[in-house]
Amino acid sequence: MRSIFVLAAVGLFLSLTAHAELPVARESPGATVRQTVGVTDVEIRYHRPAVKGRAIWGGLVPYGEVWRLGANEATTIRFADAVKVAGHDVPAGTYGFFAIPGPERWTLILNKQAEQWGAYFYKPEQDLLRFEVKPEPGPATEWMTFDLTPAGRGKVLVDFAWDKLRFSVPVEVDVDRIVWSKYDAVLADPKADWDDYLTAAKFALEREQRLPEAMAWIEKSISLQESFYNYETKARLLRHEGRTAEALPLIDKALVLAKGKAPQGYLDGLEATKKDWKEKN
């Protein structure tokens, strides 16, 4: 019987490939969910089957067999940068996302062969990662659903729900490492612009990292193009070093450059900052 299903799947796959220009209305509609963590995109593409009154677990979806985690093409998950999935290192890339459901625990799989129809052509030797989860009971969910729920600055939860089961998988991103690697690549280019240096300096100040470099970057930014933004940032860097007397004239310079260009709220904020610094100096 299984061979009949495989042949049917192959036939449908070939048919869809041969007529890829024609849209196909499917009973299990396609869906995409995407979330940015820091500067890293996480994206899941899948098809959403409905319960339709059927017995799902151990019935429509057998226990102990590899399942596509959806309908039609295999579900895929994409990471724009290297991440940790359930504590395991995963390189940037797109992966087939499969499961082996069980009565108590499931095995989740990231497979290096992302584009495939169902699980009919799944090859375990292409697995990048296997790990276990314990699904929990939940409210009835008619249409299978993936969500990506932010859980902190560098963390997102992959939330799955269908029928009366759900599970969550943490995906962690080393935001600072990734941001710095991107900034370093841009600043290594001789064509880096004034606002590139400004952005890097502001991030360094925000995170209180690489501050000596930040001062050099903001001075480079000012040398390329004077802006109220880079004068304000240099003032805040000096203030962070306890050099308020040197910082105050730069706030004045930022105010002059901002007039007629920045919203009044920005000007009012700079005036308030100047007053506060003077009172505390």
Say yes or no to pLDDT of 261 above 50. yes
The predicted pLDDT at position 281 comes to 78
- Would you state the structure tokens that stand for residue 161, as one six-digit string? 């729900």
If you average pLDDT over residues 74-87, what whole number do you get? 97
The reported pTM is 0.84
Quote the percentage of the chain above a pLDDT of 70.
93
Count of beta carbons in the 10 Å neighbourhood of residue 165: 16
Confidence of residue 118 (pLDDT cuts 50, 70, 90): confident
The predicted pLDDT at position 20 comes to 57
Tell whether the torsion through CA atoms of 107, 108, 112 and 118 is positive or negative.
positive
Residues 78, 93 contacting (CB under 8 angstroms): yes
Confidence of residue 21 (pLDDT cuts 50, 70, 90): confident
Cα 171 to Cα 27, 86, 87, distances in angstroms: 30, 6, 8
Residues 64, 161 contacting (CB under 8 angstroms): no
For 213-239, the pLDDT digits (tens) are 999 999 999 999 999 999 999 999 999
For 161-210, the pLDDT digits (tens) are 999 999 999 999 999 999 999 999 999 999 999 999 999 999 999 999 99
For 135-159, the pLDDT digits (tens) are 999 999 999 999 999 999 999 999 9
Angle at alpha carbon of residue 275, lines to 272 and 277, rounded to 5°: 110
Say yes or no to pLDDT of 277 above 80. yes
The predicted pLDDT at position 2 comes to 40
Confidence of residue 6 (pLDDT cuts 50, 70, 90): very low
Say yes or no to pLDDT of 12 above 80. no
DSSP string for 83-137: EEETTEEE-SEEEEEEEE--SS-EEEEEES--S-BTTTT--GGGEEEEEEE--EE
Say yes or no to pLDDT of 17 above 60. no
Say yes or no to pLDDT of 65 above 80. yes
Residues 40, 83 contacting (CB under 8 angstroms): yes
Cα 242 to Cα 9: distance, rounded to the nearest angstrom: 69
- Report the C-alpha dihedral over residues 214, 219, 225, 227, rounded to 10 degrees: 70
Q: Which of 11-25, 29-43, 78-92, 266-280 has the lowest mean pLDDT?
A: 11-25
Domains and CATH numbers, the chain: 25-172 (no CATH), 175-280 (1.25.40.10)
- Would you state the structure tokens that stand for residue 279, as one six-digit string? 């009172």
Which residue in the block uniquely carries the two structure tokens 């375990």? 124
